[in-house]
Amino acid sequence: MNLTAKNLRIGAIYCAENALFSLRDANTLFRKARYASSCVLGIIALEHLGKCMWLLDKAHSAAQVNRKIDSTKIKEESKKHDKMLKYGLVSFEFGLPFQAVDASLAMKVVTKRMKRAPTDFYDLRIRAQYVDLASSNEWNRPPQVEKGKVHDLLLNVGNCYRFILYSFLLRQPDVTRTMQEIGLLDTLKGITPRCTWPPPEGDIHTE
């Protein structure tokens, strides 16, 4: 089966919807101190955002040349979790580990950390999800996942959702029109357009 640009846009919109719901549930669990479960849902949300961006890119390519995309290839590529995480991380914030002496040095640090972030987030998910040997005689316990790292994860994923929503989904007329046609425009745009996503310990404010 071949997919049209509209088919691909619909898939991207569904991914954004799932990312929003996963992120809301992750924030709820964070406020209940269920950090391991919150972390897993946060990573799932980021993967959905990555798939959303990837499908939007495919839809744009299909529309440009007026051709369809092989659905088999879409299925195969979308299973690559590391690729989806990289696509989803369109925004990244963290505190510099030291006082940067100049802007160029700070940019190098940011670039390096952002490049490594998808792997770091995926490793955090593994620690939050599985009981595995952490060393030769010690076990990893998911409930002991670091609260601070989960907090930073959720805040970054939330900012990525907001950025994708206002910079891509609502700025592309074809996408916005498709959102309206399938009844998801109000659901996805109902987040207050503030500068940053609300912290996980707070509520997600809607318009």
Q: Is the pTM value of this prediction over 0.85? A: no
Task: Report the candidate in 89, 11, 92 with the shortest Cα–Cα distance to residue 57.
Answer: 11
The three-state secondary structure class of 22 is helix
Region 25-31: mean pLDDT is 92
Please, where are the H alpha helices in the chain? 5-31, 35-65, 71-78, 81-88, 103-129, 147-164, 173-181, 185-189
Q: What is the DSSP string of 122-171?
A: HHHHHHHH---BSSSS-B--GGGS-HHHHHHHHHHHHHHHHHHIIIIITT
**191 vs 134, which has greater pLDDT?**
134
**Close Cβ partners of 119 (under 8 Å, ≥ 6 residues apart):** 82
Region 31-46: mean pLDDT is 93
- What band does 191 get if pLDDT is binned at 50, 70 and 90? low
> Scanning the structure block, which residue is given the tokens 């406020």?
31
The pLDDT, as a whole number, for residue 25 is 93
CA 16 → CA 69, 100, 130, 137, 196, distances in Å? 20, 36, 26, 41, 18
CA trace torsion 135, 136, 139, 140 (10° rounding): 20
**Bridge partners for 68 per DSSP:** none
pLDDT digits (tens, 9 = 90+) for 60-118: 888 887 788 888 888 888 777 778 888 887 766 654 444 444 555 555 655 666 677 77
| pLDDT of 35 over the 50 cut | yes
**85 vs 151, which has greater pLDDT?**
151
CA 61 → CA 83, 122, 154, 201, distances in Å? 18, 29, 31, 39
Eight-state DSSP code of residue 174: H
Percent residues over pLDDT 70 in the chain:
80
CA 77 → CA 16, 17, 55, 117, distances in Å? 18, 20, 10, 21
Q: How far apart are CA 144 and CA 128, in angstroms?
A: 8
- Domain residue ranges of the chain, discontinuous segments joined by +: 2-189
- What band does 183 get if pLDDT is binned at 50, 70 and 90? very high
